[in-house]
Structure 1
Amino acid sequence: MSLFQYDFMIRALVGALVIGLTAPALGVYLVQRRLSLIGDGVGHVALTGVGVGLLLDRSPVITAVIVSALGAVAIELIRERGRTSGDLALALLFYGGIAGGVMLVGLSHNSSNANLMAYLFGSLTTTSPADLVVIVVLALVVLVAMIALRPALFAICHDEEYARVSGLPVRALNLLLAVTTAVTVTIAMRAVGLLLISALMVVPVATAQQLTRGFLSTMAAAMGLGLLASGSGVWLAGTVNTALGATIVVLAIAMFLAVAVAAAARRALRRPAVPAPAAAEVHPPEVVLER
């Protein structure tokens, strides 16, 4: 009996494939800027948005998008200032976000431990048709922005000062990256989970970097690997009844390890053998005869 005869499995597959395509397309810029963990921080803030939605009996996806977008903008403004206290401010924002979210979810009459776990780690059965529409629409907006603005976004990720001198709107582009990160984290919470989406942004990119050299080829390969991990993760999670987000991330990490081992083996085979040093010839001492 096919798993995909059920509507909730089809919704889970479509949602996971969309996220698997979108998250690495954004993640390639975050990795380039050494902001690989920002998705994790935004996920903490998004949990507060989930709590607000449950408490007010509104769509948690919409409220989480709004709250996490505001949090991401705050993170970007703190990063832009570059002060020593920035790390402390970010830590307060992250931990306050997850603490506030847990508290608000607990106050909500719609909450339960299973419901909270579904938002944190993803669930096959929690994606409703309305949620799927929101996920697909917002993911397409993020994906189009990442592809259409690729030259400008690559410029600020590679050298922000040069991009500013070149006349690019650096602050606007930085805020765009922050907001699209928040949107991607939020729409992925039903499929991958708020605590695991950062891995889907980063791991396919890290895997693709071992296979390709150019930025565009890395982006395309990462998106393909994200699709593969997400699609196979839905099937495996439905077959063995495991958490969807954890299954997708484990498969993505397994791909990374396989590629890393293959790349190391290939480098070892290509490494030229170092010839053994020749044995030193022993010459008898010269005898100088007196004339």
Structure 2
Amino acid sequence: MTRRIESARVLRNTRITDRLWWCEYEAPVIAASARPGQFAHVLCSAPDQLDPLLRRPLSFSRIEPDLGRVAFLIDTVGRGTAWLVDQQEGSEIDMLGPLGGSFAFQPDRARALMVGGGIGLAPLIALADLAPAEGVQVRLLAGGRDAHQVTPRAWLHSNVEYHVATDDGALGHHGFITDLVQDHFAWSDQIFVCGPTPMMHAMANLTDELTAIHGPRPAFTSLEARMGCAMGVCYSCVVQTTTGPQRVCHDGPVFPQSTLTWTWHHEPTATAPSVG
């Protein structure tokens, strides 16, 4: 993997719900080697201001190496992301990437179940983009507190079968996205998950229960974490796995679901969602 700092040029920032934005950049060097599940560490301030000081880790939502473009699905949760989506077409954004490990469809398997919560849909959209070329069918289950946290269907590949759940019932199934998993688990032969830590933990437990009924299939989870350096040096994003402590930024963010212990689940300072 080749990681570079690149001055990415803003192509468009599109507001797709009251909370979510789709932001596209010209970044040919990063786009050339980025893979779904990886992320960029983005400076969300003018170079002469450095406020906020720390970069924000953003998962690639679309990667177009032939066009030299990448896109991010962004939830404006703080000063950094609010600044980022406010940048005008043609502005230059300082990006470091691609970073971390990636998702990949498993050999000789052709039915991928993807489960995403809120902004966790981001890397799953990028992975689903690769499915037609690899002969993989995709069912994508997306959940959010309300309709404003759910990515509209138009931003996904047309071949994706899309199912939605919202906590308040405003869109799709009234309830948690994990409520829908049982209807699709038996169909699947590989599983990919990303979202808030409680949802991913619940999904891991549900996978264990359904595996006892339907048999095992490979499952992979992309974790969210606060990050300082995003290159494995500062150890601010360590989680415990069955193979010992692992850095989300360097050893992840994608892990085999079976290796995650979830012992950090009730330690918010260790695994809070990426800073806005």
TM-score w.r.t. structure 1 length? 0.24
Q: Which structure dedicates a bigger proportion of its chain to strand?
A: 2
Give the structure with higher Rg (CA): 1
TM-score w.r.t. structure 2 length? 0.24
User: 1 or 2 for the larger relative contact order (CA 8 Å, sep ≥6)?
Assistant: 1
